[in-house]
Chain A
Amino acid sequence: MATFEEILKQCHETRKYRPVVDAIPYAGLIGLDYQRFGHDVIFKLPDNPDNIGNPILPAVHGGVVGGFMEMSAAIHLLMMLDTPAMPKIVDFSLDYLRPVRGGRDTFAECQVIRQGSRVANVIINAWQTKREEAVATARAHFLLAP
């Protein structure tokens, strides 16, 4: 069986990252998906009853929203920077702006604000129905070198 690094290397060559996402158990657990539009990427957290926190509203668990955004940022860095390994998260700051409703898909897009040789700063915006009505916004630092 190919190691994760081998899978990653192959994906950097083909520019198709599906096998990388498939190899990450937590991405499968929450159901993370993505779609490329040329250079842009939009990540998707499909509606899934297992991701619910508050059962009355119902709302997606805030931690899952955070995990989705964090995972999106790591995969975004893999795709954009051709990193040889999974970037390691250093810190994460997450603001919840609106309820993240169950029964709806959630989307995220990332922007690399600053990339140094060892660390990258990424912002992540998440929305459900309208991109301009963000449900959450976050900022994270990642270590790029293993």
Chain B
Amino acid sequence: MSESNPYLGRAQRFVGALRQCQVLGMKVTEANAEGLTIELPYNESHVGNPTTGVIHGGVLTTLMDTASGTMVINALPEFELCPTLDLRVDYVRAAEPHKSIFAFAEAYRVSRNVVFTRCTVHQGDLDFPVANCVAAFMRIGAHMTPPDFKALVVGDDTFDESNKLKG
């Protein structure tokens, strides 16, 4: 499946390399040039409020940071590891327990130094969000990214030439 969709392959390999994302159980389900979605199934160990069984905001933060950061990689002409500068999250309603949560992320502006993202967490209906997040990522340059990490994520895929227009 990843052969026909380099965005998905890259996103899956990147998220697969992040230990905490595997511990939580994240799966990249969709990815293209415009956006990507990561699914996180419900798990009792994610609960932050034992009274309600609602998962902790930190789990959502990790999911949104991951989805946004992965989108940054897919939005750039060459693989670059971009540290998060900041995140701003609104928790608009509690996630319903025992149901998967989905994070949909987009990069709405790629500048020379910074990539700006937005991300919505929902449980099946994007218009009925659980949380919204905007974030900024610093471009440290492709040359600053360790080659072995690049090889791990990029694999045999080549980046879409059209991405270069956004840089």
Contacts and interface: CB of A to CB of B under 8 A. Distances in A.
* A, B: real partners: yes
B61 A67 contact: yes
B19 A96 contact: no
A70 B51 contact: no
Interface in A39-92: 49-56, 61-64, 66-68, 70-71, 74, 85-86, 88-92
Given A91-B91, A93-B86, A63 B61 contact: yes
Given A62-B84, A63-B20, A3 B58 contact: no
A129 B86 CA distance: 21
Contacts of B91: 88-92
Contact of A66 (B65, B81, B148): B65
B50 A67 contact: no
Interface string B64-86: 11100100000000000101111
B56 interface: yes
A145 interface: no
Interface stretch (A9-17, A18-26, A112-120): A18-26
B126 interface: no
**Counting chain B CB atoms within 10 Å of each CB, which of A27, A30, A67, A68 scores highest?**
A67
A34 interface: no
Given A55-B149, A91-B88, A26 B21 contact: no
B1 interface: no
A28 B56 CA distance: 12
A94 B21 contact: no
Contacts of A29: 23, 45-46
Interface residues of B, number: 40
Nearest to A32: B58
B49 A86 contact: yes
Contact of B47 (A26, A88, A92, A93): A26
A33 B49 CA distance: 17
B51 A94 contact: no
Nearest to A60: B20
A140 to B, nearest CB: 9
Nearest to A5: B51
A96 B58 contact: no
Interface of B: 17-21, 23, 44-51, 55-59, 61-66, 69, 81, 83-91, 94, 146, 148-149
Given A24-B50, A55-B149, 16 more contacts: A49-B19, A50-B20, A52-B20, A53-B18, A53-B66, A54-B149, A56-B146, A61-B20, A61-B66, A62-B65, A63-B61, A86-B48, A88-B91, A91-B91, A93-B86, A93-B87
